[in-house]
Each structure stands twice: as structure tokens, then as C-alpha cells.
Structure 1
Amino acid sequence: MNQGIKNTQFEFPGQLDFYKGKVRDVYIFDQVIAVVATDRISAFDVVLPKPIPYKGQVLNQIASYFLASTAEIVPNWVTSTPDPNVTIGKKCIPFKVEMVIRGYLAGHAWREYKAGKRSICGVALPDGLKENDQLPTPIITPTTKADQGHDEDISRENILSQGIVSEKDYLQLEQYTRELYQSGSEMARSKGLILVDTKYEFGKFEDKILLIDEIHTPDSSRYFYLDGYEKRQQEGLEQKQLSKEFVRQWLIENGFQGKEGQTIPEMTPEIIESISNRYIELYEHITGKTFQAANSKDASNRIKEAILANI
């Protein structure tokens, strides 16, 4: 297995700026951006020390698949995908919130619920729910979009009162979020999966709201297998899932939740390969396509040439 793409460091004609996110390297030009999905992996808002081979390709190609399929619901930022790890698109001004939507009580929401909270981001939850239960109706639980450090839960009321997003725009974001989640859920179900929860990011380009970043990938979403879901819930068993949650669980079991003083456990070759295989499995399951690994021999030059030809 290849070593993975941990960083890119290019300088292009006309390049105005560069931004290194948790996973993506973003090359900024006058009207467009070139986004490289690296093989970095983050959990609890911490970038882990070793890359996961093919993870970036999986994320980029799943995102491309879903962005194309939802373009009639909401316009998006993409203009081309010239390489398995690269997307070129419009340079939008992002909203400072992430629109998280949950159809099931899992992950962060379950941890909050288990701790006794019956309201998340101002949304009330009923008593008596179990982990991974379907919620009475999908709920939107936004988070702030932090440039550095941890994203924080925030309510609709606080978003509006603090002027983070105008009421008109926020209502549109909520509508888009619900429509995208319904579409994503239907597509997942057709492939034998349940879209448990996910997040969407939006921005503005020439005063028009566009869907930006990735959607419905294992980094931004949680999937359960549909087959056996009800039986597992009835018997109190763990759900079989395709998501990054198993990475978080591995970290938790090894004493790491991103808190000060905690040490990231060793990422052995076996752990790295298992994570890579999970990402590939999700790609094949959700798209119905066989994964074709990109040439990794000179990945850096391959990516550079793809960007140069499309900016």
C-alpha cells in the first residue's frame, strides 16, 4: 500500500493565497479555488499523525458523485474534477456555520443525550431514546465553523441573535439542508444504507447561495447498513456502520478524545490499512462502482499538472 498524500506545497501562476485545512489543501485564485483532498485524517478536530492511503481520492470522488446528483436541489461550487484528488470551483464566501442534520441518535448527539442533556442546539429531544434510535423527525444541530480548534454547537436563536447569518439566508440554509438530507437518505437506502447524520456547508458567490465543500462522504456523514438495523436495535446490539465513527471509537478506547494532555495512540500499519479499506468499502457501496486506485507513484506531480491545466 502507498504511503498516502500528507501534504501538497505548490506555487501556481496567479495564485493569491493558500489555506491548509484539516484534510484539504486549498489554492486560492481570483475567482476560483483548487482543492486537493489529501489523505490526512482528523478526529475530535485533531489531525492524526499519519495519512490514510486513498482516503482523499475516496472523499473527492464520493463528493463529486453526490454534488452532481444534487445540483438540481441546490447549486454548488464545482466547475470541474480534473483529478481523483482535485476539485476546481468558484471561490465562495463561506457562512460561518456548518449545518448538521441528524435522523438518528448517534455519535456526538448520543454522547450528549447519555450525559443527561435533552436539548441539543436548542432542539428538544424526548426521554426514553436508545443509542442509534431513529428520531421522530430529523433535527438540525448547527455548529460554529472554527478556523482553528473545535467547532461548537450553536442554536438557531444564537446564530440569528449574534448576526452570524441573516434570518433570510438561514431559513434558506435550513430548507436546503432538509432537502439534501432527504435526497441523500433516499440514495443511501437504494444502496442498502441508512444516512444517519451528515453536515453541509454553504457559501455565497455573486450573492447567490451555493453548496460548498464535500457532501455525504464518510468524513462528513455516518452510515448504517439497512439490513439488520431493526433487529440490532431490538436486541441492543451495535449497528454495523460505514463512517469515521469507528476511528473515533478506537481513539476513545485508547484514551484519546482530543483533550489537553492526551496522547494519540500509535497508528500501526494494520490500523492504517483497516481504515483505508473502510473508506474504499464505503465508496463502492454508496456509488455502486468498483474503486480504481489512482496512480500513487508520482501523485504530487499528477495533482500539480491537473491543477495547472484547469486554472
Structure 2
Amino acid sequence: QVLNMISEYLMSQTADILPNALVQSVDPNVVVQKRMRNLNVEWIVRGYLWGSLAASYERGGRTFCGLNLPNGLHRFQKLEVPLFTPTTKADVGHDENMTPNDLVELLGKEMAERAKQAALALFERGSEIMRARGLILIDTKYEFGLDSNGVLHIIDEVNTPDSSRLCDVEEWEEKYSRVATAMATGRYNTVTALLEVQPELKIKEFSKQYVRDALLDMGFNPAKDTEAPKLSEDQVVECAHRYIS
């Protein structure tokens, strides 16, 4: 219900950028959308060095989806400009990073550029909306589809905690300042190493990562296990609180 409410609102706030597939919400938990031909790409935009991007960067990676990042960045740091890192949308196995050439080969130059610019514009609008509410839109993914006339639409959801990472602005400002100060001492090779010593500097996310981490802590292996363990009542409440907040 919370996801549907967030997505429906943000679709209404971005219709001037790109039309969406939403028809109506027939129930708080049920949304009807127009049938679309999915482009089968996850259009990911990142405003901060976070998540898998930060992990790859800390391992020495500097080139992502054909784009280069400079040395000297830290986990949680805001990027100078949002980074566009599309991936395949795999039915089986893991999504794979895509380069600009990959997109052109799949969709053609015009459609690839149209969808990329739409993703960046949606991220900018989403960032403005979240910032006005005291939140940071860290990163997100969009999905696009074509209607029967070949018109590009937003499908699925927009900037929800299921498709995005968000955090509190004030918490980020306070904790990232301390992270940057600690990293400047030269004692730590990575922010991950710093967090092992000072876990209180970890920035709380409003995203489904909380559930992922909880399952992994219980020994769940998504590559092998067919059924996930049940979350405790406290964990369910915490997840709900993060989404509703």
C-alpha cells in the first residue's frame, strides 16, 4: 500500500517529463497499468557513491558502464553529476552492466538517448521532491515501456523504497562530514574498513536493503536457498517504519 501510494504520487508529479502506464488504483494494494512492451533495461541513476557502486569502487573499479570515476572518492559521497549505469533486466541470473554502445545496439540510437535523458530528468525531479521532505534520493532504477504507438512510458514504479535508496538529509550531512574527516587521517583504506571500527557512522537507508541484510544475517543464501527465513515481528515493524517514514 505504501509503495503504491508513493509511486502513484510521483507518477503524477512527473507526467510532464514522460507519460506513465498508470490507469488507476482499484485498491490500496492493487494498481492497474496499461500493457506495454518492456524495453528490458533497468535504467539506473546514482547520485552518490553507495551500494554496489561503492563496493566496486573500494575494490579498485573506476569504470562503470563506460563512464570513469576519479580517484579519491569515498562511500556515501555525493557525485559531481549523477551517474547513469544501466543494466540488463535478466529473467534468470544476475543483471549485467551495459555500455552506451550496448544500449544503442539493443534499442537504436534515438530511443537509447531518449530513455537515458528521461531517466536523468526523472532522477532530478525525484531528488527535488525528496529534498523538500528532508530526504536524499541516493540512487534509483526506472523501467520504461512502449505503448502500441511506440510512445515511451514509465512503467512499474517511480522512486519508491523498493526501487531506490533514500536517507535523511541531516543524518547524511552529519555522518558524512565525520566520515570524510576520518578518511583524511589516512588510517583507513576504505570507508568499509572505517565502519568496522566505527559502525555508528553507517547511514540509515530507507530501502529494501534492510530486509536483504536481515536475511543474510540469518544465513540465507539467495543463490542456493529456495525459501527465505521469516523475519521477526520487530524486523517487519522496522522495515514498515522505514518505508512509511
TM-score normalised according to structure 2 size: 0.85
Cα 1:70/1:180, change in 2 over 3 Å:
same
Cα 1:207/1:144, change in 2 over 3 Å:
same
Identify the residue that residue 125 of structure 2 maps to in structure 1: 183
Cα 1:244/1:203, change in 2 over 3 Å:
same
Alignment of 1:1-311 (within 5 A): 57-160=1-104, 163-205=105-147, 206-236=149-179, 237-256=201-220, 258-260=222-224, 264-281=228-245
Higher helix share: 2
Q: State how far apart, in whole Å, the 2-side matches of 1:154 and 1:252 are.
A: 27
Q: Is the 8 A contact 1:107 1:245 kept in 2?
A: no
Q: Is the 8 A contact 1:204 1:210 kept in 2?
A: yes
Q: Is the 8 A contact 1:110 1:131 kept in 2?
A: yes
TM-score normalised according to structure 1 size: 0.67
Q: CA deviation at 1:264?
A: 4.4
Where does the alignment leave 5 or more consecutive residues of structure 2 unmatched?
A: 180-200
Q: Is the 8 A contact 1:256 1:262 kept in 2?
A: no
Q: CA deviation at 1:95?
A: 0.2
| SS of corresponding position for 2:92 | coil
| SS of corresponding position for 2:46 | strand
| SS of corresponding position for 1:169 | helix
Q: CA deviation at 1:251?
A: 3.4
Cα 1:117/1:239, change in 2 over 3 Å:
same
Identity %: 38
Q: State how far apart, in whole Å, the 2-side matches of 1:85 and 1:101 are.
A: 27
Where does the alignment leave 5 or more consecutive residues of structure 1 unmatched?
A: 1-56, 282-311
| SS of corresponding position for 1:241 | coil
Aligned residues: 223
- Paired AA for residue 166 in structure 1: G
| SS of corresponding position for 1:200 | strand
Identify the residue that residue 6 of structure 1 maps to in structure 2: none
Q: State how far apart, in whole Å, the 2-side matches of 1:204 and 1:78 are.
A: 13
Q: CA deviation at 1:193?
A: 0.4
Q: CA deviation at 1:201?
A: 0.6
Q: State how far apart, in whole Å, the 2-side matches of 1:224 and 1:275 are.
A: 14
Q: Is the 8 A contact 1:96 1:164 kept in 2?
A: no
Cα 1:111/1:259, change in 2 over 3 Å:
farther
Q: Is the 8 A contact 1:255 1:263 kept in 2?
A: no
Q: State how far apart, in whole Å, the 2-side matches of 1:133 and 1:257 are.
A: 30
Cα 1:271/1:212, change in 2 over 3 Å:
same
Q: Deviations over 1:142-183 (max 9, x none)?
A: 0101123322222222232xx321111010001101110010
